[in-house]
Structure 1
């Protein structure tokens, strides 16, 4: 039986414009162009994540410095990824490794990690990113301080069956459900953590297999469509990902992919979240679920040159080297 498709609103045009322009900014910066990288006043003034999740600075740090900096086995890689992502702050990771040495399962010590973080908090240092809110945990795991609960939780994870269960999972959804079963890991966090673990050499799920829409994406979807028809929000994300070439060409938009890699489900999910924010300024008359009307973070350019690098299994890094060696900008 044929399902009724979603009915787009005017913000759906903005979704594709935003994806194209944000990716153009990324390529300009990666190619060494000087600011300004866009004429769009909203994109020029406010902070937005990249069209591709793996291109964001925090993801790049995770891929380069947490996952692929040394040869770690799966249990240590799981620990490193989750320890980094619980705080999601590069400064916290750098502090821990500077104080305790390279993190691995062999030298993991809750007491030593907590001592370093206790001192950091006492000195007024923020140890958590504000990108998303980490819950304080289940009632059974209450600790005097939030970070101590998270370290205790990580200790339980690496010493339990979660590590082996994830690696044995037959599908991305099955792996997601394993992570989701961890106390205090809700749907959004479980999905984000799985995507990060899937960057490693130990998991190889397709990013087109499975996705869970987060709260920001749900708001963006509401703004982009007058009706979802017979689709739910997860269906909509897949529908958008599968139609990306058609939707872009219909609007006459040039989209420079990630060196041949099209947008994946997680990227389209993230774009809905970012378009929700963008529309607060570009389409203030269009209401979302939350009623938020402003964008909190202003854009501040980092001084260092962007040097993108991705999981080797994607086959992108050699293409980047070839493009950087060739004269003129990449047109992929």
Structure 2
């Protein structure tokens, strides 16, 4: 359950790291503004922030990211008439395990429709994965760190996961238990009780299940900090006081309106939807990445941002859970990054701020004073 502000007030709060704490909110404002500029059809660059121009960062709102968008529209709300609620729980869990759109589309094509528990029971699902792996060369994305042990005795990772799904859904009625769960936390606890389902993957899967019409818990009822968020928390705060990482994330949820207003930052949310626990958790992960360029003196286990922005030629027809009742959506048009010449011409019209100037704006020089 989300602790109340009164509950928070009786405890020693997290101690802010001046400059970097503010950078959390500044990043959220700039990244969301870039999303809105792209949605409005503006040409690149969608931001004057040089770090955001060069490197790849997730959206401020998890549900707006490309893979989550596919999951919501094509998996959680897919239109396969033969899919039951139990099938849907399996589909969402399986999709998040691979987190790979190409894998899912190929498996669906191989099966002639969305994977169902009947396909899992008959072995058709596993055979489809075998064929897709042979064709595509791989099945997984690098977005999540998956448990790598051979829990079910197979050398190939996907065979262990197929065995896991059989264990979960055919042997231990996981779908039925998810559908009867009393809370988001209960769903996470159920999922992480199975082999290969670490705590953070269980949390991410529970959020995906909660996007669907099968569950309807508040995303602020429970949260969990992943490895990247833990690194971001260490950069934003000198210590967390009496708060756990999860408490601190929900503390940020409560403070968002006050902080955007205090810092004079524009933030309209996702068509009016506020940041929730899963979004504030993700923002700490993105803060950790952003600081590798903006505040390199704050070292951590990761010293550079691996992925540069590469663009995508695919359009994304935005679709969010209907139960959210968002007033608007739109289409994110596919694009490629600007050429070097185009960047040079753009810089002549509107010079971009260097990372050094960003540091100075945020009083980074006072970090260690």
TM-score by length of 2: 0.82
**Distance in structure 1 (CA, Å) of the matches to 2:317 and 2:136:** 32
2:161 to 132, 143, 150: 150
**Which stretch of the first structure deviates more once superposed, 84-93 or 28-37?**
28-37
The answer as to whether partners of 1:30 and 1:308 remain within 8 angstroms in 2 is no
The answer as to whether partners of 1:136 and 1:142 remain within 8 angstroms in 2 is no
**Distance in structure 2 (CA, Å) of the matches to 1:104 and 1:111:** 11
Partner residue, 1:185: 197
Partner residue, 1:14: 23
CA positional deviation for 1:65: 0.8
Gap regions ≥5 residues in structure 1: 322-332
What does the per-residue CA deviation read over 1:271-325, in whole Å, with 9 as the maximum and x for residues that have no partner? 000100000000001123x2x1100011012223342110110001x4337xxxx
CA positional deviation for 1:62: 0.3
Residues 305 and 33 (structure 1 numbering): CA distance in 2 closer, same or farther, change over 3 Å? Answer: farther
Partner residue, 2:10: 2
CA positional deviation for 1:132: 1.3
**Which stretch of the first structure deviates more once superposed, 303-312 or 279-288?**
303-312
CA positional deviation for 1:127: 1.1
Question: Larger radius of gyration, structure 1 or 2?
Answer: 2
CA positional deviation for 1:138: 5.4
Partner residue, 1:304: 314
* Alpha-carbon RMSD: 1.6
**Which stretch of the first structure deviates more once superposed, 20-29 or 260-269?**
20-29
Superposed, 1:132-151 pairs within 5 Å as 132-137=144-149, 139=151, 141-151=152-162
Secondary structure in structure 2 of the residue aligned to 1:23: helix
Partner residue, 1:166: 178
CA positional deviation for 1:114: 2.7
Partner residue, 1:119: 131
**Which stretch of the first structure deviates more once superposed, 144-153 or 120-129?**
120-129
Q: Please state if 1:59 is matched with 2:71.
A: no
Say how many residue pairs are matched: 317
Partner residue, 1:242: 254
What does the per-residue CA deviation read over 1:44-79, in whole Å, with 9 as the maximum and x for residues that have no partner? 111110000000000000011111121532111011
Partner residue, 1:212: 224
Partner residue, 2:100: 89
The answer as to whether partners of 1:137 and 1:183 remain within 8 angstroms in 2 is no
CA positional deviation for 1:41: 1.0
What does the per-residue CA deviation read over 1:251-280, in whole Å, with 9 as the maximum and x for residues that have no partner? 100002111110000100000001000000
The answer as to whether partners of 2:192 and 2:198 remain within 8 angstroms in 1 is yes
Partner residue, 1:34: 43
The answer as to whether partners of 2:69 and 2:319 remain within 8 angstroms in 1 is yes
**Distance in structure 2 (CA, Å) of the matches to 1:190 and 1:274:** 20
